[in-house]
Amino acid sequence: MSQKIFLDGTFVPREDAKVSVFDHGLLYGDGVFEGIRVYDGVVFKLEEHLERLYASAKTIMLEIPYSRDEMREIVRQSCRENGLESAYIRLVVSRGPGDLGLDPRKCGRATVVVIADRISLYPPELYENGMSIGTGSTRRSRAEIINPQIKSLNYLNNILAKLEANQHGWGEVLMLSEEGFVAECSADNIFMVRRGVLVTPAPHLGILLGITRATVLDLAREAGYETLETTFTRHELWNADEVFLTGSAAEIVPVVKVDERSVGDGKPGPVTKDLAQRFRAYAPTNGVHI
């Protein structure tokens, strides 16, 4: 079956899914997006994703030409059109076509694209054995430059960091805040377990408040783990008992080495395994059915 892409009001074959070369999303990274998982016919935390999408759009004064109810149905229909019970959805809203100038007032109507496809971000052995990460030189952008709560199409900061990961052979790259505190990775949030406490960077450090991040914090608290959102340096991270990453595509990935320093005993830890198991059980039952 040919893959169908939702593009501005209709589903078209993949090869016909094209946008204008004058679209501000292409020319300037002017737009917002969401990455959403579907588990066994359930669109995971769809309402939370839509809330973040519309909040991001409001901040950049981008009018989405569909209501939330309409967008919810578009996402669900994208899965049905492609016969997908488990999938990764990329929902993109750009400013739309204008001219070669910067002024967004020249763009008449936003472009909306919804892609439903299969995805495997990391190889299965990394979930079993863990990955190695390293610290990049690219710092996370400050909120007054580009607020990380805006999940925008401008991902050059993240791309520059990912290039460093590729150059060094790391599975992911750790990004620090301007002050040198641990912030997040190029596409994932980061957690550590230290002396029995689950710790993750505080929101003010310039991180995206991931949907999976929030879910893991909730699951951890329900399981009786002590959790803490705070500032910490690489010194604390290097001496953590466990480290793992979270993201919509990645889910929960154990980290066994940071900057050539082994984490704990060099194997995925018990808290990481427990939370990953809890997440896998939770995800297919929490969302909107397609």
Spacing of C-alpha 40 from chain mean position: 20
Contacts 24+ apart (CB under 8 A), 52-57: 52/151, 52/211, 53/91, 53/93, 53/151, 55/149, 56/32, 56/149, 56/150, 56/151, 56/152, 57/32, 57/93
Q: Are 35 and 248 in contact (CB under 8 A)?
A: yes
* Residue found by looking up tokens 């805040």 in the block: 177
Is 267 catalytic? The answer is no
Catalytic residue, from 4, 45, 151, 162: name it.
151
CA distance 239 to 249: 27
Q: What is the dihedral of CA 223, 226, 231, 236, to 10 degrees?
A: -100
CA distance 87 to 253: 18
287: Cβ contacts below 8 Å, ≥ 6 apart? 38, 39, 42, 43, 44, 45, 46
Residues noted as catalytic:
151
